[in-house]
Amino acid sequence: MTDKKGNSLERVLAVLEVFTEDRLEWTPEQLMEELGYSRPTLYRYLKTLKEAGLLSSMPNAGFTLGPKVVEMDYLLRQSDPLILKGERHLAELTRRFSCTTLLVRWYGNRILCVDSRTSAKDPLSSYPRGRPMPMGRGAIARSIIAFLPRRHILPRIEASLEDLRSVGLGATVEEIHDNLKRVRKAGYAVAKGEVTPGVVGVAAPVFDAGQSPIASLCVTIAAELVDTKVVEEIGTCVREAAASLSAELSADRRAPAERQRVRED
């Protein structure tokens, strides 16, 4: 069984958590075992989730995620200021370099690509929209961690110490911290082949009026296409684009257009 307990709200939503890339389909029996719910309870949950459209089941086959998910994703694409305002910058960067650009949101302990665009003839990235990436390695993760408020950085370094070390960012926590300070100073992070071999990532954080980054803008490009100088050039562009995007986001905030309410009663 995965989770301890929680209130019934959390327990219903916990059902959604077991659907992963490794396991996209579950039978009620399997869910009972995995989640430790009783039969009637599980069926009640499933019924509710199914009615909400979050799950769907073909008769007597397993359950999978449902159509409401597709609908919500569509709505999200229309509502997320990050995506809406980021598009322009993605386009600009892909125009300027032969690369794949990613707009990646930070949430919980993951980072998640919410939009991407490519101009490389042979795209190398394996992270399309919606595929979560682990924190801990790669330019994106580092571009976010480096810009966290001081007291949040150290715990994160410790949590991902293995990864950060193996990536050559330093041997001790202090050394790594120093390197992250350098990232912070430069305004962008660079990683060579940390996520995908032969691919260089250059990422800069995106802020939303607050002090902590909420997302990262990243250019990934084939290593053979770049040298130190070009990486610097890309870094500058990415940093500026990210800064500009951040500014747009917080400007939007300051003048919150009160959208009209549409009722149907």
Partner DNA sequence: CGCAAAAATCCCTTAAAATGAGATTTTGGA
Partner DNA sequence: TCCAAAATCTCATTTTAAGGGATTTTTGCG
Give residues in contact with its own copies (CB under 8 A).
7-10, 12-13, 16-17, 19-25, 30, 44-45, 48-49, 51-54, 56, 58-59, 61, 64-80, 105, 107-108, 112, 114, 128-132, 208-210, 214, 253, 256, 259, 261-262
Residue 181 interacting entry, from its own copies, DNA, none, C-beta within 5 to 8 Å by type: none
Residue 262 interacting entry, from its own copies, DNA, none, C-beta within 5 to 8 Å by type: its own copies
Does residue 60 touch DNA according to CB under 7 A? yes
- State which residue, 121 or 259, has the beta carbon closest to its own copies: 259
3-state secondary structure the chain: CCCCCCCHHHHHHHHHHCCECCECCECHHHHHHHHCCCHHHHHHHHHHHHHCCCEEECCCCCEEECHHHHHHHHHHHHHCHHHHHHHHHHHHHHHHCCCEEEEEEEECCEEEEEEEEECCCCCCCCCCCCCEEECCCCHHHHHHHCCCCHHHHHHHHHHCHHHHHHCCCCCCHHHHHHHHHHHHHHCCEEEECCCCCCEEEEEEEEECCCCCEEEEEEEEEEHHHCCHHHHHHHHHHHHHHHHHHHHHHHHHHHCCCCCCCCCCC
Does residue 39 touch DNA according to CB under 7 A? yes
Does residue 106 touch DNA according to CB under 7 A? no
Candidate residues 2, 38, 78, 228; the one interacting with DNA per rule CB under 7 A: 38
Residue 119 interacting entry, from its own copies, DNA, none, C-beta within 5 to 8 Å by type: none
